[in-house]
Structure 1
Amino acid sequence: MKSTKPHVALLASPGMGHLIPVLELAKRLVSHQSFKVTVFVVATDHASIANSQLLQSPSASNDLLDMVLLPFIDISNIVEPDASFVTKIVILMLESLPFLRSEISKMEFRPTALVVDLFGTDAWEIADEFNMLKYVFIASNAWFLAVILHGPEIDRKEVDDHVKNQKPLNIPGCKPVKLEDTLDVFLTDPNGPFYQGFVGSGMKMALADGILMNSWEGLEPTTLKALGDAKKVPVYPIGPLVRPVEKPVLGNQVINWLDKQPKESVIYVSFGSGGTLSAQQVLELAWGLELSQQRFLWVARPPLENDASGYFFTVGNGSDGTPDYLPDGFLARTQDKGLVVSMWAPQVEVLSHPSVGGFLTHCGWNSVMESIINGVPMIAWPLYSEQKMNAALLTEEFGASIRAKAMELDGLVGREEIKSMVRRILIDSEGQNIRARIKGLKNSAAKALTEGGSSYNSLSQVAEICIQHLKTKSYGA
């Protein structure tokens, strides 16, 4: 028996920043192409992702969409407790591959294509075994993708000039990468496992049938043209992929508070699902918000020293406990101006609320996309991964944000800087100019997603390749 529609398998790396866009890609393949889609989720612990609202929400329920939570794997005896989140992701992905293979082998209609992210290219062996097309999904921008694809060609002298002599890293046809914006991998030993893994990832990506990415032609036309001219691998910009606004839970504290605030009067402060600040930086942020005398909604987390991604694997809905790490009297003094919530807030619903006038963000690409499609100007405060590159794009290329400046002596973003940035975004003419530019990007994104738009057409091209592949192969039990 042969399926009449392609079946696409998506492998989602650990972390909500990876899972959210993968789920949105899955839903788009179902709604636009009527494909059968199975999302394989790599668990970070026994219950957190399985219990997350994302997997239980109505939008994740569809006869053509299956969610398969791969078994939890305890890697505590493989990696050190203080290993980077990237190392933990890589190990979890490798250890999960036998379970992925087992699940696919049991399927009545095996997938036509396997889509992985940059941490999942070791699954190519499974794709080859079951005669599947191989795609990579980059949940980020074209500039970041260009650095990865050209990574294998960058020699040691270029890296040394970049790091030791602070020379920009030249990427063919693209904006050079300044040292202050560079990826952490370039600051490591070029002969070490982290750098070699980065190079290997770029080489494996070049073997894919194509790369899907969460951007669109109108956002990054020059970089996308450079990627096309390089002819390494076909690139399909299909974004923005963003979770849609769903009906808020009745009685939600955050939405109820926002309902009472004036239009575009609130700065929303959140460092994503994993971002953390030091204790001193949390204090400076609190004082800066208070001194700004502007309304704020702050998703606060307990501070962690020396680990900006300390909550990367955390999934949850926060806590009702009162934060004990804020300045004495802060909550009482700001009760008429601000709301502090612990750990989590319904971000898409927040950014789409008319009272929100700015977003202080860590520049994770999901958050950037959510802010753009809701027309909310940003304060860029990058923490880790490619977020510094994202901040440079937002500020220097898109004109969609202002960027936080740390003090040279201690590396902290001071309270006076925070006060100034909040006021610039919410009440100064600079913020109004940024708001106008970002609303232009919002319109561009909407146009790309409509039928006949660039992102719609890109996904349709991938769908047609899958259909043709299915016609030439025999699938089934």
Structure 2
Amino acid sequence: MIFPTKPHVVLLASPGLGHLIPMIGLATRLTKHHGFHVTIFVVTMEPGPNKHNLLPNNQSYNTSQDLYNLVVLPYVDSSAQMGLTDKIMTRLSIMMRGYIPTLRAELGSMQHNPTLLVVDLFGTEFLSLANEFNMIKYVYIPSNAWFLAETICVPLLDKQVKHEGPLNISGCKRVEYDDILDPVFDPGNRDYDVYVSIALDIGTADGVLVNTWEQLEPKTLFSLKNNNILREIFNKPVYPVGPLVRPVRPECLGGELLEWLDEQPKDSVLYVSFGSGGTLSSQQTIELAWGLEMSQQRFIWVLRPPIEHDVAGALFHAMDGQDKNITQYLPPGFMTRTRNSGKVIPMWAPQTEILAHSSVGGFLSHCGWNSTLESLVNGVPIIAWPLYAEQNMNAALVEEDLGVAIRPKVLPTKGVVGREEIMEMINKIIEEDDDGVKMRARVKEVQENAIKAYTIEGSTWKSFGQVANNCENRLKEQRAKAT
């Protein structure tokens, strides 16, 4: 192999935009600000001939200036190893494991000697490859530091006793029962074993990158670094590298949508979306539609076909071609009655660009961490509607700690949220009553400190500097060893 003048970073992204987007943000930062060579390897859930299949509506990321190299690994079918009752975490883990030989071959055939391997939460089994190639190895948590703290504590739970109360994390905010990640509830399910294995694997890394920043989670980040109990469990450096979000590209809005948004008053539009994987039941879709209509507020709603009893249904169900008759799932006459106040967009919308528009004043969101960060960096308060994964924790963080969100009285995964409550939440966010005014002021403060994280004194700037120095030193070691 040839040793490059700058470190060569290899990033591995699990399937789904929720994992790819933060990896692309990381790659962009390392290339533009540190001059590193970066290759992103991407795992897909189904066969696809090119990178554009990874992104909805062919909205690809700009690699025309060769900022980084994006490589889609050849599809590996692992369905035979999956059981009918296996949940998301187990299925993703099995899928990723099948790609280990492929990535090993790719690393061995690279022209430039790789210096750093970064994997996300579902790629921790790949960390052993870094040892084969004398690479630094990091785990990238595309979520918050509180979720990292919960994860590293999971192996301490008694596998034989079903958890029935809040999870106390030394030095950190405790995780309430309803917000704990699902695998912890069922030690007999394979997801529990996968989660524990991931937690133990993280401890073998040289460090962890987290998509957060110091001012957003000061208590948790301090505890991960200084709390004696946590340090006994996990004694590795944690680098806050956020907020890493996709940059705004106004041209993605398109003429008609941009024109409509430009016509609306400031902070008057509610954006409704449940991410790349979230789905609602038929009954909940109807209730949401009535809540939007009854609120009489302006809205943009990204609508998918309902899927019963599977809140993450869009992750594993093909939905191509289902957008033509999408309005059949709405109450009769809904489109006519709301034609002047709302926009229903099938399947996908340019979320970052919508949230950045001045007319958008609220976000009804599943609280995936990418979406949460996009809302925060654009100063948009949130109606938190968590569905799966760590989204309940994200919702608790933005509501209880940051004060920039409201949540339904009943968890959307435990029951149907009624139209009256939906209407009340929307009006509280958009009409700016006393609570709404405080929420909007607080989210503007969070927006400002997100910007400060990237200044020369900010936590993100410092973290990237430390990571860059580590990579430069490892490259020198690799060269010395080769001579």
TM-score by length of 2: 0.93
Q: For 1:328-477, what aligned pairs fall within 5 Å after superposition?
A: 328-406=332-410, 411-427=415-431, 428-474=433-479
**1: CA distance between counterparts of 2:400 and 2:38?**
38
One-letter amino acid matched to 1:281: Q
Change (3 A) 1:466 1:240: same
Could you say what secondary structure the match of 1:194 adopts? Answer: helix
**2: CA distance between counterparts of 1:113 and 1:414?**
49
Change (3 A) 1:291 1:64: closer
**2: CA distance between counterparts of 1:250 and 1:424?**
27
**1:69 equivalenced with 2:72 (yes/no):** yes
Change (3 A) 1:193 1:224: same
Pick aligned residue for 2:169 from 158, 168, 171: 171
Could you say what secondary structure the match of 1:51 adopts? Answer: helix
Change (3 A) 1:445 1:318: farther
Could you say what secondary structure the match of 1:396 adopts? Answer: helix
**1:188 equivalenced with 2:166 (yes/no):** no
* Superposed displacement of residue 454, structure 1: 1.1
Structure 2: unaligned runs, 5 residues or longer: none
Residue-by-residue CA offset, 1:96-138 (whole Å, 9 max, x unaligned):
1111111110012121010001111111221111111110000
**2: CA distance between counterparts of 1:196 and 1:388?**
21
User: Is the 1:267–1:357 Cα contact (8 Å) retained in structure 2?
Assistant: yes
User: Is the 1:23–1:60 Cα contact (8 Å) retained in structure 2?
Assistant: no
Residue-by-residue CA offset, 1:207-250 (whole Å, 9 max, x unaligned):
11100000000000000011112332110001000001013247
User: Is the 1:174–1:223 Cα contact (8 Å) retained in structure 2?
Assistant: yes
Instruction: State the partner residue of 2:33.
Output: 32
Q: For 1:66-465, what aligned pairs fall within 5 Å after superposition?
A: 66-80=69-83, 83-156=86-159, 160=162, 162-163=163-164, 167-189=165-187, 191-229=188-226, 230-231=230-231, 232-249=235-252, 251-312=254-315, 319-406=323-410, 411-427=415-431, 428-465=433-470
User: Is the 2:281–2:306 Cα contact (8 Å) retained in structure 1?
Assistant: yes
TM-score by length of 1: 0.94
One-letter amino acid matched to 1:28: R
One-letter amino acid matched to 2:361: G
Number of residue pairs the alignment of both structures matches? 471
Report sequence identity in percent: 51
**2: CA distance between counterparts of 1:21 and 1:289?**
31
**1: CA distance between counterparts of 2:341 and 2:405?**
23
* Superposed displacement of residue 274, structure 1: 0.6
User: Is the 2:13–2:43 Cα contact (8 Å) retained in structure 1?
Assistant: yes
User: Is the 1:133–1:209 Cα contact (8 Å) retained in structure 2?
Assistant: yes
**2: CA distance between counterparts of 1:409 and 1:93?**
27
One-letter amino acid matched to 1:176: R
Structure 1: unaligned runs, 5 residues or longer: none
**2: CA distance between counterparts of 1:196 and 1:322?**
39
Residue-by-residue CA offset, 1:47-102 (whole Å, 9 max, x unaligned):
38543458864533333411111001223333246642322211121011111111
**2: CA distance between counterparts of 1:326 and 1:365?**
28
User: Is the 1:406–1:414 Cα contact (8 Å) retained in structure 2?
Assistant: no
**2: CA distance between counterparts of 1:130 and 1:407?**
46
* Superposed displacement of residue 476, structure 1: 8.5
